[in-house]
Structure 1
Amino acid sequence: MSTLIKAGADDAKRYWLDEGRGDKGGFIREVDYAANARGLDPLFEGIKIVDCDTHFTEPADLWVDNAPAGMKAKMPHVERIGEADKWVCNGRDFGSLGGNVIAKDKNKLLGKLAFQRYEQIAPGSYDLKERLKDMDDMGIWGHICFQNGGVTQAGSLVALEDDALAMAIIEIYNDACKDRMDASGGRVNCMATLPYWDKTLMNAEMRRVADLGIKGVVLPDRPERLSEGYLAEGGGISPFWEEVFEICHSQSIPINYHLNSSLDAESAMWNNLGFDQRLPISALIHHIGCAATMSNFMVSGLLDKYPNLKIGLIESGAGWVPFWLEGMEHQLSEFRTTINRGLQLSPTEYFRRNFWVSFWFETIAPTKLLDDIGADRILFETDYPHPTSLYPGVQDKLVSVLGHQPYETRKLILQDNAKALYNLPI
């Protein structure tokens, strides 16, 4: 029996809990920004550091200012509801601004998911010029950016029951990805989204995204929530997804799974835990969701059909990789999965060919496990401007975990791996 939870109209509201917004009940950590805004540490001179998991908060005027003729009144716009700025689209609540804990005064909010209003958050969260200044201060050359608010949540878009409106929202979002890439000289690359619920619309937008030169797309870890699974009945790629995979494979466009929810974190936690008790556990369970998505691909046979497919497991963490691969090797052998399914490679071989993982808060993985994971499989991230971000001490963290590594290894992890995955102009 399937335990799949279908996507729905309340996806955006559920994604950013009211309980987690606002500074009331939170704690403001005072930040000595000047001390941390020293740019690139001398240990990394000559390296263009790419932060492979950040979030670009959708500007309040993004959709209204770019609306097609006759659609302006329907477009997502920001309304002040109570004490919070929220996205509203065609009368529906599309959730909050997303995770923004970096304050306009450069301090950081702890214990909450986000400030409530635009005027509270750092302009670098949503303004490209300010973002580039923040990146320079942190010693970061490039940002790979993912959505922050709930507007592009696919379940919510489907619930509009208006394909023209949903497609306009997606196209405006993806056009903004292209605009930021061009305006930043390739330094800021936002990942595209697709209408995962309609094959014809999705294929057309995938072709358009490829033509725009956007550096990657985000796919759902459980597409069955919206449409069809990746596998056809009896195995092989589903015709629904075939063109998207063919384009990504043939044009070296990476697909990204960002802190997946393939495991229902809520179902694994005890009842009656408080907000600040649930959130840390939930975040860690979602790391295992990334491992589950990786495993699904490894046993599916899709990586034999698409041997050059590039898959980024983003905000995934990295320290779990050696144990998980060891477990997969044992289990697939004991259950004869590799033989039964005619898989061409072992889990470790698939990982070293098709996958990249990312670290930020970890110390053990980048200092002790590089050989076990593979230094060419690891990306660096800060998760700016989310609650668990490394802000403001990015360079200090990198010095502490990579400073003892050879220069070539530092460059590989901080620059070259991202360049290879995202085809960056470095």
Structure 2
Amino acid sequence: MAEDNPKSSVMKAGVDDAKWYWLAEGWAPGGHIREVDFDAQMRGIDPLFEGIKIVDCDTHFTEPADLWTSHAPAGMKDKMPHVRRIDGADQWFVGDKHFGSIGGNVIAKDRNKLLGRLAFQNYDQIDPGSYLVAPRLAQMDAMGVWAQICFQNGGVTQVGSLLGLGDEPLAVAITEIYNDACKERMDASGGRINGMGTLPYWDKDLMNQEMRRIADMGLKGITLPDRPERVDSSSAYVGPDGKVSPFWAEVFEICNDQGIPLNYHLNASLDANSAIWDNLGFDQKLPIHALLHHVGCAATLSNFMVSGILDTYPKLKIGLIESGMGWVPFWLEAMEHQLDEFRTRENRGLKLRPKEYFKQHFWVSYWFEDYAPKHMLEEIGVDRVMFETDYPHPTSLYPGVQDKLVETLGQHDYATRKRVLQDNAAELYNLEI
């Protein structure tokens, strides 16, 4: 690793990133159980959407307890991530290093939903569809969803913690096994469950090697960090000379040339705590945290627009996931004004304006919103908006997915419904529909 930039504003990656990926207070006992009328609310696809293969572009697949131990290379099984149950809570460990909880899981085995907490404590309590393929497909059928784009749930793949192991072959094996599992689920589900690959972006050569392997496996996308310089200043997307960093050149080239999308998921590089008042309680802070991370998605969009990366790679596709959509018109309007006033385009030789970059490179997703999908599709771009449930996370749409779709898209014509629910995600992720 190169010497860090002492002037950088980024929060540095740490060995405890995985340990604190899901706050322990969030999976402490308690919360409120919402009873779910499963048959009424999870009734399959509504007649309004018959013939549409709905793609849910933001879900999470909880890593099975034996994911790494069952796929371990020879001689490495004892080193692999494994689950220990401590005071009733299932926790990931790598050796004796704590790698955090099993992630956000608020859907119970009895199909009810936990409110007021981030997760149930262990596998015995949660919906098997959270971590097994066949039950997951059954849940998707009940939601009326044909395909899902899946992101990690626990924090085992957090780069800071992997580096903290001091065992690079182990860190690489953990990363490769995660990506192999994405391929296995995709194949086992007939292309309906699509995990996004992860990269060992602490090392250029290792990263490029795994990027080539991901492309060869046919994974439908990768997840990237919004601030890769959290690991090392040399791994930033833009170098000290203001140009695209050679560190990322091959990854961007592969994605640009093969149409593999980059995904930025509810970006967390912003220090949300710095904007939240002291002495607020857990249930007061968490909603503000989530909203500030939406601003992080907007910041990532802006960073790409002013960086020159999109001019160098004009076919790059970027999904802003769990981003929301209602902020887009305001943000683009503000970007246009600010760049004009500061002459950023002229100074940096940028080829397009912010609204043009957005139309060419970016997709956003919605789930809880009402106003934006009803009234803002044309302004944002009907071909730029996707749908998500965020299953099985807190604030996910479960249950009543189809009711939400009827409410938000029912007034639009069939072609618009199909574009938002199927075609946009199919085009971003190269799904065979």
- Select which of 110, 122, 127 maps to 2:132: 127
Q: CA separation in 1, counterparts of 2:256 and 2:357? A: 15
| Residue 332 (structure 1) aligns with | 339
| Residue 244 (structure 1) aligns with | 251
Q: CA separation in 2, counterparts of 1:214 and 1:25? A: 38
| Residue 411 (structure 1) aligns with | 418
- The amino acid that maps onto 2:258 is Q
Deviations 1:213-257 (A, max 9, x none): 000000110000113200122222111111111111011000000
Deviations 1:120-159 (A, max 9, x none): 0000000000000000001000000000001111111111
Q: CA separation in 2, counterparts of 1:163 and 1:379? A: 37
| Residue 155 (structure 1) aligns with | 160
How far residue 34 of structure 1 moved from its aligned partner, in angstroms, is 1.0
Is 2:316 aligned against 1:312?
A: no
Deviations 1:346-367 (A, max 9, x none): 0000000000000000001100
Task: Name the SS for the 1:271 alignment partner.
Answer: coil
Q: Map 1:160-239 to 2 at 5 A.
A: 160-227=165-232, 228-239=235-246
- Select which of 378, 382, 385 maps to 1:375: 382
Q: CA separation in 1, counterparts of 2:176 and 2:8? A: 33
How far residue 37 of structure 1 moved from its aligned partner, in angstroms, is 2.2
| Residue 16 (structure 1) aligns with | 22
TM (normalized to structure 1)?
0.99
Task: Name the SS for the 2:20 alignment partner.
Answer: helix
| Residue 146 (structure 1) aligns with | 151
Q: CA separation in 1, counterparts of 2:243 and 2:212? A: 22
Quick check: 2:10–2:230 contact (8 Å CA) kept in 1?
yes
Q: CA separation in 1, counterparts of 2:160 and 2:378? A: 40
Percent of pairs with identical residues = 71
Quick check: 1:26–1:109 contact (8 Å CA) kept in 2?
yes
Q: CA separation in 1, counterparts of 2:372 and 2:201? A: 34
How far residue 161 of structure 1 moved from its aligned partner, in angstroms, is 1.1
- Select which of 104, 114, 125 maps to 2:119: 114
Quick check: 1:262–1:293 contact (8 Å CA) kept in 2?
no
Task: Name the SS for the 1:240 alignment partner.
Answer: helix
| Residue 423 (structure 1) aligns with | 430
Q: CA separation in 1, counterparts of 2:31 and 2:77? A: 36
| Residue 45 (structure 1) aligns with | 50
Q: CA separation in 1, counterparts of 2:369 and 2:162? A: 35
Quick check: 2:11–2:271 contact (8 Å CA) kept in 1?
no
Gaps in structure 1 of 5+ consecutive residues: none
Quick check: 1:263–1:286 contact (8 Å CA) kept in 2?
yes
TM (normalized to structure 2)?
0.97
Task: Name the SS for the 2:59 alignment partner.
Answer: strand
How far residue 119 of structure 1 moved from its aligned partner, in angstroms, is 0.3
Q: CA separation in 2, counterparts of 1:372 and 1:272? A: 40
Task: Name the SS for the 1:379 alignment partner.
Answer: strand
| Residue 303 (structure 2) aligns with | 296
Is 2:108 aligned against 1:103?
A: yes
- The amino acid that maps onto 1:311 is I
How far residue 13 of structure 1 moved from its aligned partner, in angstroms, is 1.7
Q: Once superposed, what is the RMSD of the aligned Cα atoms?
A: 0.7
Is 2:12 aligned against 1:6?
A: yes
How far residue 410 of structure 1 moved from its aligned partner, in angstroms, is 0.2
Gaps in structure 2 of 5+ consecutive residues: 1-6
Q: CA separation in 1, counterparts of 2:270 and 2:164? A: 23
Task: Name the SS for the 2:155 alignment partner.
Answer: coil
Task: Name the SS for the 1:98 alignment partner.
Answer: coil
| Between 82-91 and 189-198, the greater mean CA deviation after superposition | 82-91
Quick check: 2:305–2:354 contact (8 Å CA) kept in 1?
yes
Task: Name the SS for the 1:395 alignment partner.
Answer: helix
